[in-house]
Amino acid sequence: MAGESANWWQTGVIYQIYPRSFQDSNHDGVGDLRGILHRLPYLEELGVDAIWLSPIFTSPMADFGYDIADYTDVDPLFGNLADLDSLIDAAHRHQLKLILDLVPNHTSDKHSWFVDSKSSRNNPKRDWYIWRDPAADGGPPNNWLSEFGGSAWAFDPNTNQYYYHTFLSAQPDLNWRNPAVRDAMHDVMRFWLGRGVDGFRVDAVWYLIKDDQFRDNPLNPLFQPGGLPRDALIPFYTADLPEVHEAITGMRRVLDEFPDRVLLGEIYLPIERLVAYYGRDLKGVHFPYNFALLTAKWEARSLAQLIDEYEAALPSGGWPNWVLGNHDRPRLATRVGPNQVRVAAMLLMTLRGTPTLYYGDEIGMQQAAILPEQVRDPFEKNVPGIGIGRDGCRTPMQWDGTKSAGFSEADPWLPIADDFREVNVNSLSKDKGSLYWLYRRLIDLRRKHVALAEGSYKPLMASGELLLFYRELRKERVLIALNMGPEPIAVSFPEERVSGRVLLSAFADREGEEVSASFDLRGNEGLVMKLDSDRRDN
Ligand code: NOJ
């Protein structure tokens, strides 16, 4: 439990911005840093505590910024270094922390390190990347597969070797077994931390180290034809290797040279392996992102089980976190459906741990329909028809009902979702009963009630469509009741002598209502209730 000395990254709410899609300020149809700066008052009003920007560094944009050609400069599409400095300052003036995306696993093939590495076998940078001779038949050195389809090896005819890429061939993997690579990435971190950045979300960090004997990955016996091509193999020798933890500890050491910063890891692994990324003595990432809710069955009992498993797996002192949306997965509002978006908001903001809110989810932006000719995502292009939906969840922020939703005066790089005339910040902020206002109130409640921000999690009941739990810190106890279905539920609280009052209803119309050991929930309703403390103190 965080207790008295909780850090900002524990009590706060993180808001993820996909910079290409937040706000365009120079009329080229792509969002930029000045656009974000212009929208800081919106974020302050919403009440979030930190923003994380997906990559804004110099990039050919093969993977929309996750292919970096210069780690210490800003891509002209987004602005320049001075714009970023202004944004850091302005964010801090608005009481917002600023987290950057660090992409240490791979660079762009246009990065000067790779250009040098590729130029000859003797180049001093050759060993900064992973080069191997062809197999006997001239093909790739082993069976390793790219996350984005096809072999993970690309042939360079000039030097007659293959290089390894976890993602696109335009994203060659750095060789993290080489100390010079680590040093270079540590310097990148110091560059940004020295400029006042509050931390990093570290991309694809569980892939950093690969088997040094380059053994074939085993076949996946559960693979079904039609599945993602990469799932044909189990990534036993290419992901989550034990040595990765040492690499992360090295990054953490650099981060700790600066006070009050945070290191967050992007890691898609089952819970029991995920939690290892807190590191020995909690000297790994401050938290590995917990993506369990992105694919969870939206059903009370499964959710309760998942929460229990996660809580039980956390190492002592390891701080939890929850995510309901990001730039790689279909939009929340579409996944859970319009009736459950409010319940989802309540769950995200009342579970124990740091919530990360994906831009637009606070207004219920839907997964946008993308026509085949509108596809921009290289993953989708590599494996047509996979329907991974990364374009549909990255469409421009819907600010108002004017052309291009107030995002840009030019044609936006991705289409605006069809519903933007109704679903936009301008109209939702005028309606106190809207989803937007529910998020605002929930964020505000977290600030006001320490039990919500820092208290322990106590499961009470998960049955049928009802999920019931409370959060507790010292004498404060907050009860959360979520109805995950359309029918009303008569809740009978299992403890005797319960009394309290409603702090917030999903429909914002029961605040102050008294509650006792039994109360009613309408269909798709959630309630946050403060319980009176005339009970045992513990
Ligand atoms: C994870 C990022 O979230 C995703 O968008 C990107 O394509 C890959 N890493 C490669 O950097």
Using the structure block, give the residue that is written with the tokens 């082993």.
142
**Token code pair at residue 142:** 């082993």
Any ligand 1 atom below 6 A from CB of 323: no
Dist. CA 59 → ligand 1 center (Å): 14
Q: Say what angle helices 244-255 and 179-194 make with each other, to 10 degrees.
A: 30
Q: 274: which residues sit within 8 A by CB, 6+ positions away? A: 267, 288, 290, 313
Question: Does residue 268 have its Cβ closer than 6 Å to ligand 1?
Answer: no
- Alpha carbon nearest to ligand 1 atom 2, residue: 203
110-160 pLDDT, tens digit each: 999 999 999 999 999 999 999 999 999 999 999 999 999 999 999 999 999
Which residue's alpha carbon is at the smallest distance from atom 11 of ligand 1?
66
**Is the confidence at residue 493, as pLDDT, over 70?**
yes
Task: Output the CA angle 175-181-187, nearest 5 degrees.
Answer: 150
Please report which helix (H) or strand (E) contains residue 521, including its range.
Answer: strand 518-521
Cβ–ligand 1 distance for 167 under 6 Å, the answer yes
At residue 23 the predicted structure's pLDDT band, cuts being 50, 70 and 90, is: very high
Considering only CA atoms, which residue is closest to atom 4 of ligand 1?
328
Helices (H), 227-299: 244-255, 271-274, 292-295
| Residue 238 CB coordination number (10 Å) | 25
What distance in Å separates the CA atoms of residue 534 and residue 538, rounded to the nearest whole number?
12
CB 470 near ligand 1, within 6 Å: no
Amino acid at 471: R
Instruction: Confirm if 202 and 266 have CB atoms less than 8 A apart.
Output: yes
In this predicted structure, the answer to whether residue 78 has a pLDDT above a threshold of 70 is: yes
Q: Is the CB of 67 under 6 A from ligand 1?
A: no
Is the pLDDT reported for residue 428 higher than 90? yes
pLDDT at 82 exceeding the cut of 50? yes
What DSSP assignment string belongs to 201-237?
EETTGGGS---TT-PPPPB-TT--TTS-GGGGB--TT
In this structure, are residues 296 and 335 in contact, taking their beta carbons and an 8 Å threshold?
no
State the catalytic residue, choosing from 216, 257, 418, 509.
257
Q: In the beta sheet, which residues pair with residue 396?
A: none
Return the pLDDT at 534. Answer: 56
**pLDDT tens readout for residues 161-191:** 999 999 999 999 999 999 999 999 999 999 9
* Region 456-535: CATH code: 2.60.40.1180
Strands 514-515 and 500-505, how do they pair? antiparallel
Residue 538 has pLDDT above 70, yes or no: no
Instruction: Give the separation between CA 188 and CA 97, rounded to whole angstroms.
Output: 19
Percent helix, strand, coil in the chain, to 5, is 30, 20, 50
d(CA 372, ligand 1 centre) in Å: 21
Mean pLDDT, residues 374-381: 94
Other beta carbons within 10 angstroms of residue 523's beta carbon come to 13
pLDDT digits (tens, 9 = 90+) for 389-427: 899 999 999 999 999 999 999 999 999 999 999 999 999
How high is the pLDDT of residue 384? 80
Q: Mean pLDDT, to the nearest integer, of 454-464?
A: 96
pLDDT in tens, 24-37: 999 999 999 999 99
Q: Which residue has the tokens 């907050």?
A: 478
- What pLDDT does residue 344 have? 98
**Residue 148 Cβ < 6 Å to ligand 1:** no
63 lines ligand 1 (CB under 6 A): yes
Strand segments, DSSP code E, in 253-326 are: 262-265, 287-288, 321-323
- Asked if 8-106+179-208+251-443 and 456-535 have one fold, the answer is no
67 is catalytic: no
What would the mean pLDDT of 316-345 be, rounded to a whole number? 98
pTM, whole model, 2 decimals? 0.97
pLDDT tens digit sequence for 495-521: 667 899 999 999 999 999 999 989 999
Class of domain 112-164: alpha beta
Domain boundaries, the chain: 8-106+179-208+251-443, 112-164, 456-535
CA distance 203 to 190: 17
User: In angstroms, rounded to a whole number, what is the distance separating the alpha carbons of residues 421 and 417?
Assistant: 9
- How confident is the model over 328-338, as pLDDT tens digits? 999 999 999 99
Name the residue of 59, 68, 203, 230 whose CB sits within 8 Å of the most ligand 1 atoms, as the mutation to test its pocket. 203
Summarize the confidence of residues 288-310 as an average pLDDT: 98
CATH superfamily of 8-106+179-208+251-443: Glycosidases (3.20.20.80)
Catalytic (active site) residue 422: no
pLDDT above 50 (res 536): no
| 533 residue type, one letter | S
- Determine the Cα–Cα distance for residues 246 and 279; give it in Å rounded to an integer: 9
CA of 521 to the centre of ligand 1 (A): 40
Structure tokens at 71: 């780690």
Q: Does residue 328 have its Cβ closer than 6 Å to ligand 1?
A: yes
Q: What's 24's DSSP letter?
A: -
Q: Which residue out of 83, 173, 198, 203 is catalytically annotated?
A: 203
Residue in 328, 358, 377, 381 to alter for ligand 1 test, most ligand atoms within 8 A of Cβ: 328
The answer to whether 378 and 388 are in contact (CB under 8 A) is no
